[in-house]
Amino acid sequence: MKILAVLTYYHPHWTGLTGVAQRVAEGMAARGHQVTVLTSRYRPDLPLDEVLNGVRVIRVPAVARLSRGMLMPTFPWAAARLIRAHDVVQIHTPMLEAPLLTALARRAGVRAVITHHGDLVMPHAPFDQFVELVVTALLRRAFVQADRVVVYTQDYLDHSRFLRPFAPKAVPILPPVAIPEPDRAAVWKWRSELGVAEQPLVGFAGRFVEEKGFDFLFKAIPLVVRKLPQARFAYAGDRHVAYENFYERCRPLVERVEPYLLWVGLHRGQQLANFYGMLDVLAVPSRTDNFPLVPVEAMLCGTPLVVADIPGARMAIKLTGMGRLVRARDEVALADGLRQVLADRSSYVRPHSELEAVFSLERSLDEYERALTR
């Protein structure tokens, strides 16, 4: 089968969305399918055409950034040409060009499968809200034309007003997750270098954007350290996001708790696993989230969670029991949850074999293969 995957950003860009897209693409290629990725050339030093781990990656030149997307004048012609040469097109949304892709696929008689990574939720600034309104309307048109929609969880599907009309064509598939085991010697060394060898360490990670709710964590920190003055909070990621200045808006909160914060930077692969492995608990205080990969990766590295009780994200706890759910958008509830897990961490940890049974990479790829081929 010839599969064309389309998304705005691909490797070496890294978010949960691109991680899922890359694992599915490489997984299908390893199973003998011919896989091509059509994406943006968001950096001028990236090749226009290359093969990565058995996947051909074609990048369309971009002339400007448009909110979270890229402006690519030649994209329609590249997409039309490639869609005609493939059996199925997999579109990763949110993506501005999604309705164009589904229309081209329908015209060419090619199946269109959308993998929906989450409803578009923008900050409350007027321009951002305008972008959300326009892109959501365009996505709705694309979903009408799609043959199949893949979502992460039934929970998110049941609670998304946007997805509800498309439930008959939707199938839930847990995202494929892969992460190495932490290097325990490196973990201990890292903690020592950070000066927190014996101190309680709370982690948080991911894109520094409003929907991730890190501001609630900053408000919760004084409540935690009031009873646990040795506690520290480590962030792995990039604080400066090109399309959203949330860190700057959080700066007054950050400055109040700066003595308790550790900024360890953006990490991948083994170093990211080591980051998860050195934490006593990971905080996921999101306002809205589909099914973020960060908490799943952390659990696979042996770290329990405290997660905001919101559709999609809460399934990390409901499927495993490895942590606590707390009331969303509530720093008091978040602080209480963190203190409870830190006080009795071992009771929340689950065997690695149980977690692998829930988050099976091969089962996820099996389900994607069925969704793409049927």
Map out the domains of the chain as residue ranges: 2-176+360-373, 184-358
Q: Across residues 156-180, what is the average pLDDT?
A: 96
Question: What is the band of 131 on the pLDDT scale with cuts at 50, 70, 90?
Answer: confident
CATH topology of domain 2-176+360-373: Rossmann fold (3.40.50)
CATH number of 184-358: 3.40.50.2000
Q: Is the pLDDT of residue 69 over 90?
A: no
Q: Is the pLDDT of residue 367 over 80?
A: yes
pLDDT of residue 14: 87
pLDDT tens track for 332-360: 999 999 999 999 999 999 999 999 999 99
What CA dihedral angle connects 366, 273, 300 and 298, to 10 degrees? -110
Q: Is the pLDDT of residue 192 over 90?
A: yes
Distance, in Å, from the CA atom of 278 to the CA atom of 182, rounded to the nearest integer, reads 8
pLDDT tens track for 312-330: 999 999 999 999 999 999 9
Question: What is the band of 138 on the pLDDT scale with cuts at 50, 70, 90?
Answer: very high
3-state secondary structure of 124: coil
Q: Across residues 17-42, what is the average pLDDT?
A: 97
Average pLDDT score over the chain: 96
Q: What percent of the chain has pLDDT over 70?
A: 100
Question: What is the band of 121 on the pLDDT scale with cuts at 50, 70, 90?
Answer: confident
pTM across the whole model: 0.94
2-176+360-373 against 184-358: fold identical: yes
Distance, in Å, from the CA atom of 8 to the CA atom of 39, rounded to the nearest integer, reads 5
Q: Is the pLDDT of residue 67 over 80?
A: no
Q: Is the pLDDT of residue 142 over 80?
A: yes
Give the CB-side neighbour count of residue 114, counting CA atoms within 13 A.
31
Radius of gyration for the alpha carbons in the chain, expressed in angstroms and rounded: 21
Q: One-letter amino acid identity for 146?
A: A
Distance, in Å, from the CA atom of 94 to the CA atom of 139, rounded to the nearest integer, reads 7
pLDDT tens track for 39-65: 999 999 999 999 999 999 999 999 998
What CA dihedral angle connects 19, 83, 169 and 40, to 10 degrees? 30
How many residues can be counted in the chain? 374
pLDDT tens track for 273-304: 999 999 999 999 999 999 999 999 999 999 99
